[in-house]
Every structure is written in structure tokens, then in C-alpha cells.
Amino acid sequence: MVRSNSILSTAEVRVPLVTASAIEEFARGGYHGTTVADVARASSISPAYVFKLFPGKERLFVAALEECFARIEQALADGADAAEDQTPDAILYAMGDAYADLIRDRSLLILQVHAQSVADIPEVGDALRRGLGRITTFTKSRSGGSDEAVQRFIAYGQLCHLIVTVRTDDVPEEWARILALGIRHPE
């Protein structure tokens, strides 16, 4: 006899799949340029079923953003655990390396950029603030770093976003070299 609590409902199986598709689709088209139908098509389900799982485009975007921050936190935790030296600076450095590896998947990076561009939508702005708060709080508690060190870590992360999105590696001018000086980022 199969126990009912061991069987996942269709919704429980579909939510992570739809969320993963939403990350990809919103990263590709942005909030305004992506429809629920685009996410449904990428998920191989109907738009009506996506609306059943996520009652509105805002909620779907927020779910994608929340998953993005969950992946970031996991990468930072893995980086911290892998640090050879467990001093705050060494942990922050290892977390930075782990984040640089994570954003090789540009969809996570671009989704964050799109979220910042539509942060005036209340649900998105709230989710963005919660995610940033979550990452900042986790970084502070896990690294044991000073407030200034954590601020610098987050600031460098944002600079990495800029460097990667505008592809400063492709720009031969001095300003691009200055911005990227000493920054580790994915190619």
C-alpha cells in the first residue's frame, strides 16, 4: 500500500519546473517583455495552469526571484564551507568565488538586473529587498565579517554584475580596466 504523504501532487512537481522556466524566460525578456504564456510554453504546460500555480505575473516573477536568491545563498554557503581558512576575510573571498561561479549562469545575474529595473512594482521591490536582506544577513552571520567587510562584499558583487553585463572584457579602454581591476568574474 502506498502512503498518501509519499506521493507528490502535480502542483508540487510543477512549481519548481515552472519557477526554473520563469528564471530563464524573465532573464531573457525582462519583466515587461515576458508573458505568462512564454513561461507556460517553456514549461510545456498551459497558461491557465501557470495561473493556477501562480495567481498573476507578479507572483510568478517573485517566485523566480526568490529561487534566484535561494541559489545564491546556497552557493555562498558552499563557498564558505570550502574556505581553507575560516577567518572572515577568507570566508568572504571563498563566497565571492562561489558567487562568481554561480553567475556563469547569466540567467541568475540578468534576472537580478531585471528585478532592479522594475523594483517600483510593489511585489517585486518587496521581494528584492527581502532577498538582499537575506543574502546580507547570511553573509554577515556566516563569515563573521565586520559590517564594512560585508558592505564591501555586496558592493563588489554589484560591481561584478556591471562588469559582466556590459562585458568590460571586450572594451580596450582604460576605464574598463580600472573597473575590473582585481575583480574575479566569470567569462
pLDDT digits (tens, 9 = 90+) for 149-173: 999 999 988 888 888 888 888 889 9
- The answer to whether position 163 is within a domain reads yes
Q: Is 35 helix (H, G, I), strand (E, B) or coil?
A: coil
Centre a 10 Å sphere on the Cβ of residue 83 and count the other Cβ atoms it contains. 20
Is 93 inside any structural domain? yes
Cβ atoms of residues 88 and 153 within 8 Å: no
Q: Can you tell me whether residue 146 is helix, strand or coil?
A: coil
The CATH number of residue 90's host domain is 1.10.357.10
Asked if residues 109 and 103 have their Cβ atoms less than 8 Å apart, the reply is yes
pLDDT of 102-159, one tens digit each?
Answer: 988 889 999 999 999 999 999 999 999 999 999 999 999 999 999 999 999 999 888 8
3 domain residue, yes or no: no
Residue with cell 495561473: 51
pTM value is: 0.88
Greatest alpha-carbon span in the chain: 70
Q: Is 1 part of any domain?
A: no
* 119 occurs within a structural domain: yes
Total domain count, the chain:
1
Residue 185 resides in a domain: no
Supply the DSSP symbol for 137. H
Cell of 4: 498518501
- Per residue in 48-106, pLDDT (tens digit) is 999 999 999 999 999 999 999 999 999 999 999 999 999 999 999 999 999 988 988 88
Range of the domain at 98: 9-180
In a domain, 187, yes or no: no
Q: Is the residue at 109 inside a domain?
A: yes
